Amino acid sequence: MDQTNDTPQVEVNTLEASKPKIEVKVDTGGALAQFSAPNTTKVQLQELSNQASQILSELPDYIGQFLSNNQKPLITVGLILGAFVTLKVTLALLGAVNEIPLLAPTFELIGISYTAWFVYRYLLQASSRQELSQEVENFKSQFLGKQ
């Protein structure tokens, strides 16, 4: 360990030349670590600051390049996340509506009534089934763009 001139040194010399020289070094109390010079700390801080500013200045280019290279997968992920959020909100709303007294049985009654009307109107007679089939085909052609 490199010692500075601040620490006292005690040397014990003997009168006889044949005995080895013993050197005792005593550190002052409370000196746990030596601090580096303030200039090196400032230089290191300046280097870190320069590196951080360089990274932050190049960040928009990196993000733009990433977005342009991965546009389709990002759109797909966004649509999946949007569908998931929409599904969760819809289920939460339906759960809240289902908790209202007499509202759930009313909706069930409306659903059963509409199903009965649909079967009576479109599925019982052959002519009405053909009419329904034609309407479905027209809707498919309009939706898919086939004429």
- Given a cut of 60, whether residue 35 has pLDDT beyond it is no
Pick the residue with more confidence: 29 or 43?
Answer: 43
Lookup: tokens for 76: 């797909």
What's the number of CA atoms in the CB half-sphere (13 Å) around residue 129? 5
- Among 25-34, 62-71, 108-117, 138-147, name the one with the lowest average pLDDT: 25-34
Q: Where are the domains of the chain?
A: 74-99, 101-147
Q: What does pTM read for this prediction? A: 0.42
11 pairs with which residues across the strands? 23
**What would you report as the CA-atom Rg of the chain, rounded to the nearest whole angstrom?**
42
Q: CA nearest 107: which of 125, 121, 124, 93?
A: 93
Residue 25 sits at φ, ψ, to 5 deg, of: -115, 130
Mean residue pLDDT of the chain comes to 83
Helix ranges restricted to H, 99-125 = 103-118
**Strand, coil or helix: 11:** strand
Q: What is the pLDDT of residues 79-116, one digit of tens each?
A: 999 999 999 999 999 999 889 999 989 999 999 999 99
Q: CA nearest 120: which of 109, 135, 132, 107?
A: 132
Residue 10 sits at φ, ψ, to 5 deg, of: -120, 125
Lookup: tokens for 120: 């009576």
